[in-house]
Amino acid sequence: QVHLVESGGGLVQAGGSRRLSCVASGSIFSLNVMGWYRQAPGRREVAERELVAEITSSDSTTYADSVKGRFTISRDNAKNTVYLQMNSLKPEDTAVYYCNALIGLSDDGSTWYGWGQGTQVTVSS
């Protein structure tokens, strides 16, 4: 079993910065793909989560157009942790941010896919 725990959310003024962390724990063989999604206020379905950024095991990154140039995703494999550095925050970045991961469980190719519990980021104008 794998668990993802996010931290770093909170209230920040527009133009400010925040760094989110997501630590994976459990039976981890490899961190394949890790990402950050967000869910805007009033949206409740998992399908309504928006991809913010993701990073692969080869450090290839993908960003939503709305955050390019402002957010940076990175990972520390030794700590089983992925980070999201958010700069120049805007009120429209207000959302619950969820960590998402595809994790290898062993060298037989078995994997785990799941979500963290989410962390609220609120950007005031």
Give the separation between CA 113 and CA 55, rounded to whole angstroms.
15
Comparing CA positions, the residue from 113, 35, 37 lying closest to residue 74 is 35
| Cα first-last separation, the chain | 40
Comparing CA positions, the residue from 26, 25, 4, 22 lying closest to residue 82 is 22
Give the separation between CA 27 and CA 42, rounded to whole angstroms.
34
Note down pLDDT in tens along the chain; length 125 residues: 899 999 999 999 999 999 999 999 998 999 999 999 999 988 888 888 999 999 999 999 999 999 999 999 999 999 999 999 999 999 999 999 999 999 999 989 899 999 999 999 999 99
β partners of residue 61: 55
